Structure 1
Amino acid sequence: MAEDGRERLGIVAGGGGLPMIVANAAIEKGMEPVFARFSDGMTNDSIIGRSRAFAWGRTGDAIEWLKAEGVQKLVFCGTISSRPDFRSILPSFKTLKRLPRALRIVKGGDDRLLRNLSRYLESEGFDLLPVQAVAPELLAPEGVLTARTPTAEESAALDLAHRAATALGVLDAGQAVIASNERIIAMEGIEGTRAMMRRVAEYRAARKIGRGERLALVKAVKPGQDRRFDLPSIGVQTIDEAEAAGITAIGVSAGESLILGFDDVIDRANTAGLAVCGLGGEQGTAR
């Protein structure tokens, strides 16, 4: 608890603007944010407030610091480009004594890793919150969100991409797929959505994608995913990268995805002529 009596919220922060969005929402709820910055978060200049940066090898130090700061509730948010690799780092003593459990935590795909991590942190006395518990306004609403409605061809592409993203999520391999109405163009792997869209831009430049082939990007929550972590998200930069890749429609899981800066995202999409939808139901329909 802070000196002024406010409850402290621990934010395990990566890169991008989401950590500060969550922090500002926490402040509005009368909480004081405290940042433990990892990976991309170590150089995240947008983070303002009480914070410390930790290398993966000092994860144990971060846990002890958060406890010393009186943090009980934790939220994870922001981009993490590099997974923890405790086999190739020199850990601090506080991390070393936790190493056997740490090595078990980092096995598997992202969702498995985060589930393992959540169980460990709960055993350390922390209460893990989802981003949407702090900032529910970030959740994507259902339906067409832009001025333009998807064409029949784009709707078919959204449906195909959504079905593929769901299958991909079953494997805990990724959350995003790009498709036309006839075929899958790209599926997200460890490179992430941004690199996948750059790859699609290269495909189009190499004429591997038809000039009139309309593409849709879908970012979907994984079946059975722990909704406290790593919800699919889009921001203004997503719209910029989609436009560069020749993508004309974007769909996200309604109520289970985040739109970072809703008004700015929709304004940018309208300017670019993209259709953006919150997809509901098993078939990812945009009603």
Structure 2
Amino acid sequence: MVSDVEHPREEILADRAQNGRAEPLGIIAGGGALPRIVAQEAAKQGWVPVIVAVADGRASDWSPWPHLSIPWSHVGEGLSFLRASGVKKIAIGGTISVRPDFRSMVPSFRTLSLLPDIFRAMRGGDDTLLRACTTAVARRGFEFVAIHDIAPKLLMSEGTLTRRQPSQREELALVRGFLAARRLGELDVGQAAVASPDRVIALEGIEGTREMLERVRGLRARGRIGDKEPCVLVKTVKPQQDRRFDLPAIGPSTIAEAAAAGLRGIGVSAGGALIIEADRLLSAAEVEGLFVVGRALPPETGASA
């Protein structure tokens, strides 16, 4: 775990002086490959990535970039670090497996001023939480940018990415899955569902996609899902979602988890989802015999590209 600060502000300013295009980009990093991919793409474009690692992201080594690893109780220090580093724009991404419980924490002095905003944010679901947090951060002089604006190649395209195409029955499962995921998103509950042509098998709650698929795996092992019942995973952006944050994502691990649950394929919202480590993901899908498709959402969902 990295807990120290490296590359002080003077070095960042020196980098900017060397390259007229260079500007610090703050990245609030959770776990997984996504934050590092964004940092690498930002660096290629002339940004100087400045990392604040939280939650699952604290287990990563963020060298060689300027970085600070903090517990949730020190989020005030994270904003101060970004401000001292000359950051004006921030991107946020990565997995956060445990939602912070600020009411049971002992906050640092710099975090105290954020607590009223934090407590208001904690009242709702994930979308409500993100909107409230971004509003609070924006009031402190920062601007958020979308991950896919920095790394557009991560955005899911429309069509089938694998050689394996969905069958007619699997298409019906996709339709049911997208409808279920849409309803779920309208309630700000989750972004994913598992469905067959005839029924909805599972809905994602606060446990996340991985644990939902574990549940599906258990249902299949107990005979609650027929061996020949074609089931698919669907992940879609919420209709009301701010697309700068928390887009649904799939990666190589999603393929392994879907295959273990006995699924036939994965459908995600084209233009509204991220595909992480696409080459590895597609290779894994080919090995497991799964299809991966991106589908445009109908206009009535309220989601635009």
* Residue equivalent to 2:113: 97
TM-score (norm 2): 0.90
* Residue equivalent to 2:197: 181
Q: Secondary structure at the match of 1:4?
A: helix
Q: Secondary structure at the match of 2:153?
A: helix
* Residue equivalent to 1:111: 127
Q: Secondary structure at the match of 2:67?
A: strand
Count of paired positions: 284
* Residue equivalent to 1:77: 93
What is the aligned-residue RMSD (CA, Å)?
A: 1.4
Correspondence 1:44 to 2:55: no
* Residue equivalent to 2:48: 32
* Residue equivalent to 2:214: 198
Contact 2:51 2:62 in 1 (8 A): no
Contact 1:13 1:35 in 2 (8 A): yes
Contact 1:22 1:135 in 2 (8 A): yes
Distance 1:189 1:278 in 2: 22
TM-score (norm 1): 0.96
Structure 2 residue ranges without an equivalent (≥5): 1-11, 17-21
Correspondence 1:263 to 2:279: yes
AA aligned opposite 1:101: D
Correspondence 1:9 to 2:35: no
TM-superposed CA distance for 1:47, in Å, is: 6.4
Distance 2:65 2:276 in 1: 20
Q: Secondary structure at the match of 2:24?
A: strand
Contact 1:186 1:200 in 2 (8 A): yes
Distance 1:4 1:42 in 2: 25
Q: Secondary structure at the match of 1:3?
A: helix
Name whichever of 41-50 and 104-113 sits farther off: 41-50
AA aligned opposite 1:115: R
Name whichever of 47-56 and 5-14 sits farther off: 47-56
Distance 1:211 1:126 in 2: 52
Correspondence 1:152 to 2:168: yes
Contact 1:17 1:46 in 2 (8 A): no
1:48–1:272 Cα change, 3 Å: farther
Of residues 222, 225, 232, the one that matches 2:241 is 225
Q: Secondary structure at the match of 2:13?
A: coil
AA aligned opposite 2:14: E
TM-superposed CA distance for 1:49, in Å, is: 2.3
TM-superposed CA distance for 1:208, in Å, is: 0.7
1:47–1:225 Cα change, 3 Å: farther
Distance 1:177 1:46 in 2: 33
* Residue equivalent to 1:54: 70
Distance 2:153 2:179 in 1: 27
Name whichever of 133-142 and 274-283 sits farther off: 274-283
* Residue equivalent to 1:252: 268
Q: Cα deviation per residue 1:158-215 (whole Å; 9 max; x = unaligned)?
A: 1000000000000000000001111111000000000000111111111110011111
* Residue equivalent to 1:214: 230
Name whichever of 258-267 and 23-32 sits farther off: 258-267
TM-superposed CA distance for 1:97, in Å, is: 2.4
Correspondence 1:126 to 2:142: yes
